[in-house]
Every structure is written in structure tokens, then in C-alpha cells.
Structure 1
Amino acid sequence: MTKPIAVLDSQWRRHDELFTSEDFARLGEMCELVWAKSDPIPASVLAENLGKMRFYLSALPTLDANQIAAAKNLQAVIELYGAFPDTVDYAACFEHKIEVLATGPGMRGSVAEMAVAMALSAGRGLVEEHELFRTGGEHWLNDNPKTDFTMFGQSIGFVGFGQIAREISRLLAPFSPKIAAYDPWLDPAEAAKLGVKLASLEEVAKTSRVFFVTAAPTKTNKGLVDAATIAKLQPGALVVLVSRAHLIDFDALVAAAEAKRIKAAIDVFPVEPLAENHILRKLPNVILSPHRAAAVTGGRQLMGKLIVADIKRMLDGQPPANLQRARPEHVLDLAGVQHSKKLESMAEERE
């Protein structure tokens, strides 16, 4: 029996970064792998397989309407970066009933682990006291009541309650926190099942001791957490930024931390790397991470596991259930994705 063709163009991603050896072997058992190298696929190789491939896996999949029309057997485009790309004609994919799948859910464990580690470290003053040890200024047996707090029973807020936020919430469950979230996309019934209170952004900011920014960037949420929202944070609140700096007024965040109104734990920045003379490097109430929340050995291999699981489902005639599925109404709002009249009409039809 002929196996379906899967073009694998991981580009800068290594295969062992995305897949365990067992999952990569399973992928090869299910599909005939084409290219499957860590260098970008030559245009000639993609063109040669365009009409034959059933799955197109790429760190930066690029398909225009003409290519999609020629890809007669294509069932799914699976990106390998972690977010929906702006290099795919989504309207054409939807028209031809081609799934576009994002592997962001495969980073939920590693990113959530880092977010929780940063929150616990900041709440208990671990990094601050560690640095004070270097100069002999540590506080022996001190509660540090003005800066430190426990996570037990704490009020925790989220901006965006997607895969990462849900995994953070799951990891924090033993602390019995009170969780609220601002997420206009989350169905209230689903929120109730997840045990999260949906609230306005203002209410979440006012009531949260720990304020996680975990939403995906869209056209409409740039600077969503603005200076007014940051001003509503309670004194001593901790802001944990692990999604994208796109969502926050970064200058206002820095100013609030510099004034010692709040604490911050930051993994992503508007400009990377952070300037060597940036004030954040000098603030003792800030924990900094160089955009490596997902960067740990094995930390992205859940992506491969979910890819293999969803390809298996599709080969069995079932819809994908593990990766994030593109939908017209959501894709239309994603930062970087171009509008088109066809895509807009598809989104309107689903409302």
C-alpha cells in the first residue's frame, strides 16, 4: 500500500528538537517523508511534490492561491514555529477544505513551566535574595513583607486563557489559587468548566496579585495592557510576560517597575536582544529571561507528539484534535495575516 506523502521542511528547527526518536519513526511509518532535512526546502523540490503531498510540514509554510489550487491531494498545512504564519493564503485553504494547523499547543508545557518558575521565584524573592548574598546584604529569617508573597490561595489573573494559560493554571492547582481571566474568545460555559472567572481587563488588573500576560498577538490587541491598565495593578503586583511584548505598553511596564510599584518577570521584549544599557538590567525587582521560556531540551517535543497524533487522526478520517485549527474569524484578527474580501466573507458566514 502506497504511503501518503508528507513534505517535511523544518528549516532552522532540528528534527530532534521537534520529535522524539519514537515519534519521528512513527511519522515515517505513516507517511513517505520528502526532504526531511534541517535546511530550507528548494523551491524545485516543493514544486515537484506540490500535487502529490498530503501533508506539508514547515517552520515557514509558504503557499499562494495558485499553489493551493495545484495541491490536489493536500489535506493539511502544519506549521512548525508555534504560531499561524502570514505566508499562507488562508481563504484559498478554507475554500479547498485544507486544514491549517499551528503547533503552539506543543509549547504549552515548557512555557508554562518557565512562567510558574518565574512567578514563584519573584513571589518569594528568590532571585533578589540570591543577588543580595553576593554583597552580604541578605535578609536572614526575614519575611520581607513589603515585597514577598505566597502563591497559596493567591488571586491570579490572565490576559488570554488559551493553551499556555490553562497549563499554568493546571500547574498552580495545588496552591488553590483564585483564578480570573480576560479573554473575549473564551466561551463562558467552557470557562466555568475550567474553573476560571471571566472578567473585564480592568477587574483582572485590579484584583490580581500575579498578572500573567499569555494571549497570542492579534491586530486588535497591540498594547492591550496599556498604561491605564498597568496603573490599576495593585501595589506589589507581579506581571509575568511570556507571550509577546506586542500585548503590553512596555515603557509603562518599565516605568512602573522602576518606581517599585510592581514587580515583573519578563521573557519577551519589543526589541531583542535587550539593549546593554537598558534600565531593566539594573532593577532588583525584575526577573529577566532572554526569550527562552520554551528553550529547554525536550521542551518542544510535545509539538511532534501532537503532529503525529493529528496526522494519525486525519489518516483515519477524523478531524485533527490536538493542534490549533485555523478558523476564518480567528485568523482574520491575527497579527501579520493579510485581510482579503474572501476571508472576511468566510468569517462573517461563521458568525
Structure 2
Amino acid sequence: MNALPPIQGQQDSAAATGERARPMVILCPAPQKTERIFTPETLRRLRADFHVVDLDGEPDSALDACLPDAFAVIGQPDLPRERLRRAGKLRALLNVEGNFFPNVDYETCHEQGVHVLGAGPAYAQAVAEHALGLALDLARGISREDRAFRAGRETYVSAGTEDSILLRHASVGLIGFGNLGRALHRLLVPFAPTLRVYDPWLPDSVLREHDVLPASLAETLAASQFLFVLATVTGESERLLGPAELDTVPPGARLILVSRAAVVDYDALLDRVRSGRFLAGVDVWPEEPVPADHPARSLEGLVLSAHRAGGIPQAFTEIGRMVLDDLALIARGLPPVRMQVAARELVGRYRNRPVS
């Protein structure tokens, strides 16, 4: 005999039971947008595996009501110690903006066994490719000569290449060897450069395993025809490159800044570009949007980019896939492997600002 179909009340009860059986994931991704980081398929899979509570745009009281039952939070809402203490089931905080801000009590997260994860690796390839593009532009004057051509000032063959240099076999320096540095390193290998790296957070043995030369900051600056500034901002690295440091960069070098504006003294940087000491490509700025009358806009030795290196559609949708992969692992009692794990010793030292 065929069983009778359940009545509506039984169906509703079964659906509610199913929701309770799945781990609750709170979705509050601001300033990201759900549709930007989750493709329809990724979002469907997330909702199939987890009970997703979408609090985007909802008041803080809604978050407080859900936190006691939450398995994970996608986003980085304010989570002080007293709020985290009420989140006894919380196992993961997945930051999808890209920075670890001081609005979270990270020490309490670690005490309670909460995985604190960031989306930084999703941007690394995009930023690395953009950085390489800036370097090649600076090496050959591509955008400069494009402007000249459009204005009727073009020169042909060798007349416009006096300052051109090759990236192949060049002396290259990387300041920072985290997500960005490692992604860029893979792109630089075919150019067979002499590659020095300054990163005080890594032992020399790790750098040698990547086939790069460990070097001091002074050595990296003084030896680099191409200098890529890739460091994050901490109390120690803020204004790491001031006037004295920039004066050790070789004349005619190419400096590429794609990480954080606060690592460099901008007045000193622009002064040296203006004087013709070296050329620079810059994607990040102390004030964004850059004021209309900013002197950088008129410097010929500068390639300008409006903080667009990492924020491309493929990077955003990769964030959603990374979130889904790591949540699935954590739900199975396994460690996350795709997003950046916030190290207990480092996460409180970051000084990065939100990206608008």
C-alpha cells in the first residue's frame, strides 16, 4: 500500500527540522554584496548544506538573536568579547572584505576555538598580474607613448626607446612575500630575474625554498631595477619607505606599489618621481578617491591606477567558492585550507583600512 502524502503542517514541521539539523550560517557580508561574491550555483550549494540566515541590512538586534545558534558568520560585523561570549556554537568567522579590522576581539575568538579566516588569497593572482602589467608598462613606456601618439607627438623605432629596459634577467626586489609576493613570484619566474625578497616575518630557509634570495631591506632597495612593494601595514611597516630609504633605490629603477598606501611616504615618493630619479606605478593611495587637484595626476613618470588591481569579478566569485569549501571542511571537523587563517600572533597587528 502506498503511504499517504504528509499534510501541510507535517511538511512545515519537517522543513523546520531540516533547517535546525543543518549548521546555521549568518550572512552579513557588507561592504561586499552577496550577489558579487556568490554565483547562483555557489549560493545554492551554500543554502543546501547550511541553514543560511541572511542579515544583510538588518539591525544589530537580529544578529544578537541569531548568534547563540550560529555555526559561522560570513562577514565581519562588530564582535566584541561580550558578544562572542554569547556565541557558544560559533566555529568560524569568514571575512569576505579582505582586511582584518579591529572591530573583532580576536583573542576571544582564539580562546573559543573560532577559525578566523580572510579572503586575501582570492585577490592575489589578480593583483600579481596587474603588478606585472605595471612593471612592463614602466619598462617600455607603453601608456606614456600611447598618450604621446594620441596627441600627435609620437616617435618611431629607437627614437622613443632610450629609457626602455628589459625585465628578463633584471635585478628584482619584493618587499613582502605573503599571498601577493608568492603569486607574483610565479609570474616572474619565466623572466629569469635575480630575485631578492625582504620579509621579516619569514626565516631565510623558507625564502630559499622558493628559490629567492633572502635580503635585508637595505640590500633589496639598493639592488633592485624593479621594486615591488607588496607588504601589509602594521605598526612596524607603516611608512617603511621614507625619504632615506627611497634615496637608496637605484636611479632609473621602476617602483610598483600595489599593496597598502601607508607603507610608503607619498610626498617623498612623488618628489623622487618628479625629479626623475625613478619611475613608479601606483594602485593604492592615502586618500581615495584621489582629489582632483592631486599633484600625482600631472607627473609623467608615474603610471596611475585607481585601486583596481584586485577587485575584478573573477576574484570576487572566488571568495564565494573559498567560503563554501572551507565551511564544508570545518563542518566535517577538518581545518580550513583555502582562506587565509588569521594567525593569533599577527591578526591584532594589522593596520589596514577598509576598501570603499
2:310 aligned residue: 294
Q: Alpha-carbon deviation of 1:25?
A: 2.3
Deviations along 1:18-54, one digit per CA (max 9) or x if unpaired, are: 1233322222222111016xx4332122111111110
Paired position in structure 2 for 1:348 = none
5+ long unaligned stretches in structure 1: 338-351
2:59 is matched with which residue?
Answer: 42
Q: Deviations over 1:228-254 (max 9, x none)?
A: 111011111111111111101111100
Match of 2:40 among 12, 15, 21: 21
Q: Which residue pairs with 2:193 in the alignment?
A: 177
How far apart are residue 143 of structure 1 and its match? 6.8
Q: Name the CA distance, whole Å, in 2 between partners of 1:183 and 1:143.
A: 40
User: Is the contact made by 1:110 and 1:300 (CA closer than 8 Å) also made in structure 2?
Assistant: no
Structure 1 residue aligned with 2:71, among 35, 45, 54? 54
SS at match of 2:158: coil
CA contact (8 A) 2:222 2:249 kept: yes
Q: Percent identity?
A: 32
SS at match of 2:83: helix
Is residue 260–residue 352 contact of structure 2 (8 Å, CA) maintained in 1? no
Determine whether 1:68 maps to 2:84: yes
RMSD, aligned α-carbons? 1.7
Q: Distance in 2 between matches of 1:198 and 1:25?
A: 45
TM-aligned CA deviation for residue 139 of structure 1: 2.3
Kindly provide the amino acid, as one letter, of the partner of residue 42 in structure 2: D
Deviation at 1:135, TM superposition (A): 2.4
Q: Whole-Å Cα distance in 2 between the matches of residues 67 and 143 of structure 1?
A: 66
1:129 pairs with one of 132, 145, 165? 145
> Which of the residues 244, 263, 266 maps onto 2:260?
244
* Structure-2 separation of matches of 1:157 and 1:312: 38
Equivalent pair of 1:8/1:57 in contact (CA under 8 Å): yes
Match for residue 133 of structure 2?
A: 117
Query: Residue 203 of structure 2 corresponds to which residue in structure 1?
Result: 187
Correspondence list, 1:1-351, <5 A: 2-35=21-54, 39-58=56-75, 60-142=76-158, 144=160, 146-335=162-351
Is the contact made by 2:92 and 2:115 (CA closer than 8 Å) also made in structure 1? yes
How far 1:4 moved relative to its partner?
0.5
Structure 1 stretch displaced more, 185-194 or 48-57: 185-194
Rounded Cα–Cα distance in structure 2 between residues aligned with 1:21 and 1:109: 23
Report how far residue 336 of structure 1 moved: 6.9
Give the whole-Å Cα distance in 2 for the aligned partners of 1:220 and 1:132: 41
**Partners of 2:311 and 2:27 in 1: CA distance:** 22
2:118 and 2:148 map into 1 onto residues whose CA distance is 43
Contact 1:10/1:40 (8 A) holds in 2: no
Deviation at residue 300 of structure 1 after TM alignment? 1.9
**What is the aligned residue count?**
334
Whether contact under 8 Å (2:94, 2:118) holds in the other structure is yes
Q: Secondary structure in 2 aligned to 1:298?
A: helix
Please state whether the residue corresponding to 1:329 is helix, strand or coil. Answer: coil
User: In 2, distance between residues paired with 1:274 and 1:145?
Assistant: 31
Tell me by how many angstroms 1:188 deviates: 2.3
2: CA distance, partners of 1:13 / 1:238: 33
- Cα distance, 1:144 vs. partner? 4.7
Structure 1 contact 61–77 (Cα < 8 Å) conserved: no
Q: Deviations over 1:215-270 (max 9, x none)?
A: 11112211001111110111111111111111011111000000011001001111
Aligned AA (1:35)? D
TM-score, reference length from structure 2: 0.89
Tell me, in whole angstroms, the C-alpha distance in 2 between the residues paired with 1:145 and 1:83: 40
Cα–Cα, structure 1 residues 67 and 292, in superposed 2: closer, same or farther, change >3 Å? same
